[in-house]
Amino acid sequence: MSGPAPGWQRRGFNVAAMRTEAKRALPRAIFDFVDGGAGDEVTLRRNESDFDALSLLPRPLNGAAERDMSITLFGQKLSMPLMVAPTGLAGLLWPDGEAASARAAAAAGTAYCLSHGSVCTLEALAGTGVTPRWMQTYIYKDRELTREIAERAAAAGYEALVVTIDTQIVGNRERDIRNGFLIPPRLSAGEVARMAFKLPWLWRMRREIPRITFGNYKRAGEAEDLTALAERMLTLPDPGMTWRDIEWLRGIWPGALLLKGVLHPDEAAAAVANGVDGMLVSNHGGRQLDGAASAIEALPGVVEAVDGRAKILLDGGIRRGTHVIKALALGADCCLTGRPQFWGLAVAGEAGVAHVLETFRREIDLAMGLSGLAKIGDIGPDILLRQS
């Protein structure tokens, strides 16, 4: 009863099929929390569909019988140009969800970025020994809290700090409003009844549900419940943050420092001027400002502004191996996967995330083989058909 549904590997033959499996496995309010975006979900849809506007130009006679998709990022070798994006509340999808996902990433030879909003604490995740591990955080109104999280992450051996800059105010996620998946939750009787129909999830999570919390914010000795904690947590990021805060954090954090949520070329140039090592071209998977540029659409402007002075990563809408190849062709160094990793987690825990990462690996390898690309360094703008 608490294991994955029989036959999930066969049915989950690609990322979209894993989404369908996740929809079957999760209560609707939780599936929608993961799947949904802000407002009319225009940016969410365009994150995916804008990849279709780019066409690959293969060169099969390049002789790519042997292919190597490994990359080096901040001194760490990754087995492929795709890592796991920070995604909050993993522990709501599967028991000990963060550790399950991080273990799958490490086994696949890639990096895992822990969300500020993890159920477990950042120290507990570090205790699993998974590596490379990155930590995502915010600039909080309380700069001492900002410092504290950075110092805890450094002490726990996180290699990179990712400062998300696009969630200074929480976006308008209308599916969550419809479902009553709010803080505090206002689930309708129908929604609660529907949850009961997802028996395997309910059974699997029966001991976890009372313990779900935002581990990194729980103060020692405090008996704060999830609702109170979440209410406090959502108001912590500072909409008044400025570049001075980034400069200040740069002075505190010893490892690689990245900004997440960069879309504007001027912001990208300023990030370099303020000493960051990298940035994530991202609109938070369409969950924040609806109408914002899609990640792949914004990428060329950021690449031009950065001009090789920092690493550029991209997330949003990556559903196929060819999407990774297209992002790299436009100048990204690596991509991240958010929802697909969560769909895998919801379906089969660690095995499900491993399955999703393996699906991506297979598809990246196939696309490289069919395009005549033997290594990541062979991927450049010339493999894309230029639109006039």
Ligand X SMILES: Cc1cc2nc3c(=O)[nH]c(=O)nc-3n(C[C@H](O)[C@H](O)[C@H](O)COP(=O)(O)O)c2cc1C
Catalytic residues: 284
Q: Which residues pair with 68 in a beta bridge?
A: 375
Whether 259 and 245 have beta carbons less than 8 Å apart is answered as no
Scanning residues 194 to 213, which ones bind ligand X (CB under 6 A)? none
Whether 292 and 43 have beta carbons less than 8 Å apart is answered as yes
Cβ 131 to ligand X shortest distance, Å: 19
Q: For residues 160 and 176, what is the distance between their CA atoms, to the nearest angstrom?
A: 31
Q: Which of residues 28, 133, 320, 339 is near ligand X by CB under 6 A?
A: 339
Query: Which residue, 136 or 371, has its beta carbon nearer to ligand X?
Result: 136
Does residue 164 bind ligand X (CB under 6 A)?
A: yes
Query: Which residue, 64 or 355, has its beta carbon nearer to ligand X?
Result: 355
Whether 86 and 114 have beta carbons less than 8 Å apart is answered as yes
Cβ 342 to ligand X shortest distance, Å: 6
Query: Which residue, 86 or 255, has its beta carbon nearer to ligand X?
Result: 86
Q: Which of residues 19, 103, 116, 355 is near ligand X by CB under 6 A?
A: 116
Report which of 79, 151, 84 is spatially closest to residue 118, judged by C-alpha positions: 84
Does residue 91 bind ligand X (CB under 6 A)?
A: no
Query: Which residue, 64 or 312, has its beta carbon nearer to ligand X?
Result: 312
Helix (H) or strand (E) holding 360: helix 339-371
Q: For residues 44 and 108, what is the distance between their CA atoms, to the nearest angstrom?
A: 27
Does residue 260 bind ligand X (CB under 6 A)?
A: yes
Contact window for ligand X (CB under 6 A) among 75-83, 113-121, 143-151, 225-233? 113-121
Report which of 375, 321, 360, 350 is spatially closest to residue 90, judged by C-alpha positions: 350
Whether 8 and 337 have beta carbons less than 8 Å apart is answered as no
Query: Which residue, 96 or 315, has its beta carbon nearer to ligand X?
Result: 315
Cβ 103 to ligand X shortest distance, Å: 19
Closest-by-Cβ residue to ligand X is 338
Cβ 220 to ligand X shortest distance, Å: 22
Query: Which residue, 316 or 349, has its beta carbon nearer to ligand X?
Result: 316
Q: For residues 111 and 10, what is the distance between their CA atoms, to the nearest angstrom?
A: 26
Collapsing DSSP states into helix, strand and coil, what is residue 46? helix
Cβ 36 to ligand X shortest distance, Å: 8
Does residue 284 bind ligand X (CB under 6 A)?
A: yes
Does residue 37 bind ligand X (CB under 6 A)?
A: no
Q: Which residues contact 190 (CB under 8 A, 6 or more apart)?
A: none
Which residue's structure tokens are 């110092």? 151
Does residue 338 bind ligand X (CB under 6 A)?
A: yes
Whether 111 and 76 have beta carbons less than 8 Å apart is answered as yes
Structure tokens at 135: 């930590």
Binding site for ligand X (CB under 6 A): 33-34, 47, 85-88, 115-117, 136, 164, 260, 282, 284-285, 287, 315-318, 337-339, 342
